[in-house]
Amino acid sequence: MDDFETMDHRILSAFHAYGADPRVGAAARALSWAGEHGALWIAAGLAGAAVDGGRRGAWLRGTALTVGAHVASMGVKRVVRRRRPTHLAPRVRTAGRHSFPSSHATSAAAAAVAYGTLGAAFVPPLAVAMCLSRLVVGVHYPSDVAAGAALGVLTVRIGSRWIRGGPHD
């Protein structure tokens, strides 16, 4: 195993160990469940659109970009086809067997940027917790999570003018 892979395994193992605490494990499993297929972030975006009528369009565009980021991550998974970690027991079931990038991290980071710019201050810390939960439950390497988060941020940054209702609205 090369140095990068060794580091990826070691960091994952360290985070996974925190899941032995029943409270931490339960919280990580709850986040994993809530983030499946971007559900938490889609619900948050739709709730923002429902309660912030003046910026409804921006919330809906942010939600669309979050969904788009999630879909992009699924496409990358099909190309890369990296297997999930096997050196420890996962604490949750997964929808698929491919690990790179983390779709949970992709949609979480996309929502953090999209909804954070709309004033939803609670979303970025929750997105960080979502990303870390993927390590605690043992279903992604840190590099999977980092790549997913980068893809989510990039997707929303590319569409940021559209969120604000730019000239191509």
Write the pLDDT tens digit of every residue in 44-88.
999 999 999 899 999 999 999 999 999 999 999 999 999 988 888
The CATH number of 3-163 is which of 1.20.120.1200, 3.40.50.620, 3.40.640.10, 1.10.606.20?
1.10.606.20
Percent of residues in the chain assigned helix, strand, coil, to nearest 5? 70, 0, 25
Read off φ and ψ for residue 67, nearest 5 degrees: -65, -45
Three-class SS state of 98 = strand
Nearest 5°: CA angle at 92, between 88 and 94? 100
Write the pLDDT tens digit of every residue in 122-147.
999 999 999 999 999 999 999 999 99
